[in-house]
């Protein structure tokens, strides 16, 4: 993980989040989701606060955070484009869409454009297997993507 400045009030906000979920059975995932919602990512400085509050090791919290691809350790761009990399989408042209998008944005998977406009992430099924290639742009599902549709989407978003 890259070193980054700790947001002011991070520890206090993380403790508030932990308190909101501490009574749940298995609160770690909801806590990580809420921390990411609050900060746009899960800051490195939040991990020891969560670990201490839940009586876990930092390694346990880090292991869970890094196991799930939805959690990010760095802030995402203003827009997030997720492209399905599962077999059904690859078989219906997903590789061509991915190549076009990566070339257009000049980033690889998990990368963010230099201007901070778009973060590109792989996902391994969006449940649109019959309508592939599939993607998700800022939470909006996209079906039957092709390189031209992806290009139009990125142009519309100002990327």
Per-residue pLDDT of the chain (159 residues; tens, 9 = 90+): 444 566 778 999 999 999 999 999 999 999 999 999 999 899 999 999 999 999 999 999 999 999 988 899 989 999 999 999 999 999 999 999 999 999 999 999 999 999 999 999 999 999 999 999 999 999 999 999 999 999 999 998 887
Instruction: Please report, in angstroms and rounded to a whole number, the separation of the first and last CA atoms in the chain.
Output: 26
The pair of structure tokens assigned to 6 is 């700790």
Q: Residue 85 and residue 68: Cα distance in Å, rounded?
A: 16
Is the domain of 35 the same as that of 59?
A: yes
Same-domain pairing of 93 and 120: yes
Q: Does some domain include residue 85? A: yes
Nearest-angstrom CA–CA distance, 80 and 69: 13
Global model pTM greater than 0.85: no
- 45 and 110 fall within a common domain: no
Does a structural domain hold residue 72? no
């Amino acid at each position: 993980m890259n070193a980054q400045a700790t947001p002011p009030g991070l520890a206090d906000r993380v403790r508030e989040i932990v308190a909101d979920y501490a009574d749940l059975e298995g609160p770690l995932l909801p806590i990580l989701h809420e921390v990411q919602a609050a900060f746009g990512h899960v800051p490195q400085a939040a991990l020891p606060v969560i670990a201490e509050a839940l009586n876990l090791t930092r390694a346990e919290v880090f292991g869970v955070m890094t196991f799930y691809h939805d959690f990010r350790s760095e802030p995402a761009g203003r827009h997030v484009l997720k492209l399905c990399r599962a077999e059904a989408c690859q078989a219906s042209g997903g590789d061509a869409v991915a190549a076009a998008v990566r070339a257009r944005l000049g980033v690889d998977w998990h990368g963010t454009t230099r201007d901070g406009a778009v973060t590109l992430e792989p996902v391994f099924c969006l449940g649109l297997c019959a309508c592939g290639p599939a993607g998700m742009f800022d939470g909006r599902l996209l079906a039957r993507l092709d390189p031209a549709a992806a290009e139009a989407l990125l142009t519309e978003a100002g990327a």
